Amino acid sequence: MTQPPQYPSYPGDEPQSSGWGQPAGGQYPPPPPGAPGQPPVWGAYGPPPAWTAGPPVPPASYASWGSRLGALVLDSLLGFAVALVPLAVGAAVAFADADIDPVTDDISGVEALGFVIMGIGFVLALAFDVWNRGLRTGRTGQSLGKKALGIRVVGKNTQQVIGRAAGFGRWAITFAFGVVPYLGACIQLLDGLWPLWDEDNQALHDKVVTTVVVRT
């Protein structure tokens, strides 16, 4: 068989890569870090921290039903104290010159300004309750009543404070329970008693926002 002619090689005749297909020498350069299939490059700060749930709350740490009730009573008394002065002043203004008809028991001479002042008292009491049992509880875990009795509200899955927005939502749920026509009082009573038989000592509003009340 006739051999093909052999031609001498000269410098610069080596195979070159065209940028497509197999490169010179048959070896591909290693892929850069962060390419598909390669470890990611996090830089000087390392990988982002992975979220992990906190340890489960031991049952012994749950606040007792009595302490929760006591905190609610204290918070309610504080709200009443905020409204007391406007209510008293408003009532005095409204009925200072009022007359009662001895025959019909109709009241006359009532000053409308007094009712406006009393209305301001109710608004102040509501605003205080939103701040105390809603925003403050979300930020610190404790209303003033809860702080006095050494208990706090935390997320069931994180064991951390829940934040102002969730704290306000938790308060709004209890408020909504109370304004349901005809059934509001029954729903609030059931909500307040629910921790007595619940495994995690949660009220109904705790279950909605996934919170528990623990001892500090």
Question: In 3D, which of 4, 3, 24 has the Cα closest to residue 12?
Answer: 24
Does residue 76 sit within a domain? Answer: yes
Does residue 135 sit within a domain? Answer: yes
- Per the structure, the complete domain to which residue 78 belongs is given by 62-99+107-215
- With a cut of 70, say whether residue 53 has pLDDT above it: no
pTM: 0.69
pLDDT of 48? 53
Does residue 82 sit within a domain? Answer: yes
154 three-state secondary structure:
strand
Residue 124: exposure state from Cβ atoms within 10 A (0-12, 13-18, ≥19): middle
Does residue 134 sit within a domain? Answer: yes
Name residue 107's beta-bridge partners.
Answer: 100
Tokens encoding 174: 């209890």
Q: Give the separation between CA 89 and CA 85, rounded to whole angstroms.
A: 6
Tokens encoding 114: 């007094």
195 pLDDT tier (thresholds 50, 70, 90): very high
Does residue 30 sit within a domain? Answer: no
18 pLDDT tier (thresholds 50, 70, 90): very low
Cβ–Cβ under 8 Å, residues 191 and 203: yes
pLDDT of 96? 85
From the DSSP assignment, how many helices (H) and strands (E) are in the chain?
7, 4
Residue range 127-171, pLDDT digits in tens: 999 999 999 999 999 999 999 999 999 999 999 999 999 999 999
How many structural domains is the chain composed of?
1
- With a cut of 90, say whether residue 118 has pLDDT above it: yes
Mean pLDDT (whole number) for 87-102: 86
Q: Which amino acid is at 108?
A: S
pLDDT-above-90 percentage for the chain: 57
Does residue 121 sit within a domain? Answer: yes
Does residue 187 sit within a domain? Answer: yes
Does residue 174 sit within a domain? Answer: yes
